[in-house]
């Protein structure tokens, strides 16, 4: 099977891209890295009459610290996240997760905004954005708006993006001297979709956790935030008893898929094991 015939435009600005979408009466799709869209076109899961290439719009690209936020332009590529000293300093959890994103060929083309827009529940960057309490800046003809990441993922491959809208940038609170973080995932082979993965981003007050964000991938229909586990850990020292309580809370926090190879209880068990490992790494980090 191959893609249907389509028209192609390469606008020079966000406004021009939005206008092209409107002129196509919605029968259009934005493309940047194309790592998800191109296979969908080939399978005719998507068949727009117009492709709008936004990859070279300068205002959608780049990394910068603006106030107390790290701004990541939507078309910033995965390998740039991986290699950025700015990300390593101000959003180190993203740096930890970046080597686990697929393979180098995909990291060279895939974009940060595209990853969030797809909202794959098995994807690393959307899940880490959730753990980091990111904010998504969305462009539309009605004007820009910002959506908290907790309100952005609505369901399986479903987001708060409306027809014609695009992600302009993602804003992430910068790390402080009190920040500790950890990421890991369990997969049959490196580069495969993880059986389960998780990221933890915590602010410490002495030896107590002042605030913590815990998010899991491959553990539900969307990236999943472990709210009950967070509530147990907030304000606490990490004792074995507290860690055990947080692990048990995942039975309620998560809604993992199951199949004949990886049943639900197995994924929950792996999630509990993974959370224990990551909390142990927080304690080991100076």
In tens digits, what is the pLDDT along the chain, a chain of 286 residues?
688 899 999 999 999 999 999 999 999 999 999 999 999 999 999 999 999 999 999 999 999 999 999 999 999 999 999 999 999 999 999 999 999 999 899 999 999 999 999 999 999 999 999 999 999 999 999 999 999 999 999 999 999 999 999 999 999 999 999 999 999 999 988 778 899 999 999 999 999 999 999 999 999 999 999 999 999 999 999 999 999 999 999 999 999 999 888 999 999 999 999 999 999 999 887 5
Contact call for residues 49 and 27 (beta carbons, < 8 A): yes
Predicted TM-score (pTM) of the model is: 0.96
What gap in Å lies between CA 96 and CA 119, rounded to an integer? Answer: 20
């Amino acid at each position: 099977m191959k893609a249907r015939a389509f028209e192609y435009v390469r606008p020079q600005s966000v406004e021009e891209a939005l206008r092209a979408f409107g002129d196509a009466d919605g029968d259009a799709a934005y493309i940047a890295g194309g790592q998800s869209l191109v296979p969908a076109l080939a399978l005719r899961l998507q068949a727009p009459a117009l492709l709008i290439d936004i990859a070279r719009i300068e205002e959608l690209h780049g990394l910068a610290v603006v106030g107390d936020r790290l701004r990541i332009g939507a078309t910033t590529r995965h390998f740039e996240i991986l290699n950025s000293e700015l990300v390593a300093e101000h959003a180190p959890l993203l740096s930890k997760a970046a080597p686990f994103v697929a393979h180098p060929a995909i990291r060279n083309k895939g974009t940060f905004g595209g990853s969030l827009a797809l909202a794959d529940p098995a994807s690393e960057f959307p899940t880490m954005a959730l753990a980091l309490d990111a904010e998504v800046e969305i462009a539309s003809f009605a004007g820009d708006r910002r959506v908290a990441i907790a309100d952005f993922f609505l369901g399986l491959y479903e987001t708060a993006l409306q027809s014609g809208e695009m992600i302009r940038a993602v804003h992430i609170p910068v790390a402080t001297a009190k920040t500790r973080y950890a990421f890991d995932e369990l997969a049959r082979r490196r580069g495969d979709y993880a059986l389960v993965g998780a990221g933890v981003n915590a602010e410490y007050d002495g030896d107590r956790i002042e605030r913590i964000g815990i998010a899991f991938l491959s553990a539900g229909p969307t990236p999943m935030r472990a709210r009950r586990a967070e509530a147990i850990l907030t304000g606490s020292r990490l004792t074995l008893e507290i860690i055990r309580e947080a692990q048990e809370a995942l039975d309620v926090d998560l809604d993992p898929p199951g199949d004949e190879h990886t049943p639900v209880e197995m994924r929950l068990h792996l999630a509990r094991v993974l959370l224990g490992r990551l909390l142990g790494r927080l304690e080991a980090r100076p």
